[in-house]
């Protein structure tokens, strides 16, 4: 199922290799419009410039964490409905309850398979077709 008509995706992680791996998986799934930010502060700048259909964010980043980014997104009336997926390692998965309380749509443990990412995107965004319909 290609996602070529899906709104842009914002990928937020402070590890360039993770950005490239997740971008490759998203591309493999058919996503074509993917922006990347290295932390929550940079991500907020992107979010204020364009509409995103999905944010995939790491939890542990500096100077602004994924959790802080999520809280900003959920309190901003123009951003609060943006689907948001939090990613982190198994060692930090204890952060997921706080992310759920803050309004995250889904949580992913890294590393994840392309099929797990696809399953999560469908759960969060629905089964969008290339023309943007469900």
Q: What is the pLDDT of residues 76-123, one digit of tens each?
A: 999 999 999 999 988 888 889 999 999 999 999 998 888 899 899 889
pLDDT at residue 129 greater than cutoff 70: no
* DSSP per-residue string spanning 102-115: TT-SEEEEES--HH
For the chain, what is the domain count?
1
Give residue-wise pLDDT tens across range 69-78.
999 999 999 9
Do the domain assignments include residue 130? no
Q: Are residues 86 and 59 in contact, defined by beta-carbon separation less than 8 angstroms?
A: yes
**pLDDT, position 3:** 56
Do the domain assignments include residue 80? yes
User: Could you tell me which of 134, 133, 128, 131 has the C-alpha nearest to residue 29?
Assistant: 128
How many residues would you count in the chain? 134
| Domain of 48, in residue numbers | 9-125
Do the domain assignments include residue 4? no
Do the domain assignments include residue 120? yes
**pLDDT, position 29:** 83
Do the domain assignments include residue 3? no
Strand-pair partners of 130: none
Residue 3 buriedness (CB in 10 A; 0-12 / 13-18 / 19+) = buried
CATH of the domain at 118: 3.40.50.2300
């Amino acid at each position: 199922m290609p996602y070529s008509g899906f709104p842009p995706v914002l990928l937020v992680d402070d590890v360039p290799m993770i950005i490239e791996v997740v971008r490759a998986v998203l591309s493999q799934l058919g996503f074509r419009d993917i922006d990347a930010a290295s932390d929550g502060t940079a991500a907020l700048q992107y979010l204020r410039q364009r509409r995103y259909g999905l944010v995939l964010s790491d939890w542990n980043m500096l100077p602004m964490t994924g959790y802080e980014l999520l809280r900003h997104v959920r309190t901003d009336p123009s951003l609060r409905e943006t689907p948001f997926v939090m990613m982190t390692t198994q060692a930090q998965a204890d952060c997921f309850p706080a992310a759920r309380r803050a309004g995250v749509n889904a949580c992913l443990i890294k590393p994840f398979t392309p099929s797990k990412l696809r399953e999560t995107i469908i759960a969060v965004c629905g089964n969008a077709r290339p023309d943007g319909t469900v």
